[in-house]
Amino acid sequence: MNKFNRVCIVGKYRSAEVQRPVSQIIDFLQGEGVDCMVDDMTAQQLPGIKVECGPVDDVVSRSDLVVVLGGDGTLLGLARTVAMHNVPLLGINLGRLGFLADISLNKMVASLRAVQRGEYITDDRAILEVSTDSEPETGIWALNDVSIGKGQSGSLIQMKVTIDGEFAYNLRSDGLVVSTPTGSTAYALSAGGPIIAPGVDCVLLVPVCPHSLSNRPIVIPGTSKIEIELIESIDARVHIDSHTHLNIREGGRLMIQVAAPTVRLVHSRGHDYFGTLREKLHWAGTMGS
């Protein structure tokens, strides 16, 4: 695999803890002859930094690799930008869980050294595209999930769910999560959905506290086109990767499908998906471990 010659580094917004590791990454990469860039927001946290800075969309578009320091939320916030420009993304964990940003701080430099030697694997993750009937031409991407939830009134939501033009079910609940396999370990998991391996071509629909206990999570093909019509609600909202939030009124419709681009994650060569699950979810070891 090729060495990355131009790397963009993005740190968690307004976090003082990114200063030292970002400086360490820049020192290491420059020692390897790599051109480094940081986005403007990260640069504000690094007084006196002597690398190229610019708007995040600009510096990402001109890089061969993006290194993000933060939690999974920080990585999710950057996912749309890297997908748009087809730039691979490597995550260093400063957060709590680290399913996506899976390289620890104490292994950061060693992992980057290995990556620069070509000792890495890539992992293409599907993303969802969501649009509304009020703005059908405006698609917003989600790496984890799109969820509809009740607002401050606390009133249940009633929805009509259609899949590939066929009526699927009516749902009366606190909400509904439409998730990628990547997002199956996030909100969907908390709502009782299954864990789905990232390479499975599918979409997951998980009701949140359904009024009828017979409404269960369902896994559908990744080629499916989902339409959700809001039948009854006072103040429902749509949450896209917890970064974009939309109001939706009664009679409003959401259209969701898998987008054409993907997010390409970079992992150390020894990355083990099931090992990550065992570690993060505190699964017990097995006789074979």
**Tokens at 26, concatenated:** 């820049």
Q: In angstroms, what CA-CA distances link 228 with 78, 160, 196, 233, 250?
A: 26, 6, 22, 13, 11
Distance in angstroms (rounded) separating the CA atoms of residues 51 and 143:
30
- Looking at CATH, the fold of the domain delimited by 127-260 is given as Tumour Suppressor Smad4 (2.60.200)
Percent over 70 (pLDDT), the chain: 97
Indicate the CATH number for domain 6-119+269-280: 3.40.50.10330
Given a cut of 90, whether residue 13 has pLDDT beyond it is: no
Q: In angstroms, what CA-CA distances link 124 with 82, 83, 127, 260, 265?
A: 12, 10, 10, 12, 6
Q: Give per-residue pLDDT as tens, 70-121.
A: 989 999 999 999 999 999 999 999 877 778 998 999 999 999 999 999 999 9
Tell me what pLDDT residue 138 has: 67
H or E element that contains 190: helix 187-190
| Average pLDDT along the chain | 92
- From-to residues of CATH 2.60.200.30 in the chain: 127-260
Q: Give per-residue pLDDT as tens, 190-236.
A: 999 999 999 999 999 999 999 988 899 999 999 999 999 999 998 89
- From-to residues of CATH 3.40.50.10330 in the chain: 6-119+269-280
Tell me what pLDDT residue 28 has: 96
pTM: 0.92
Given a cut of 60, whether residue 169 has pLDDT beyond it is: yes
Given a cut of 70, whether residue 137 has pLDDT beyond it is: no
Neighbours of 217 (CB within 10 A): 16
Name the residues annotated as catalytic.
72
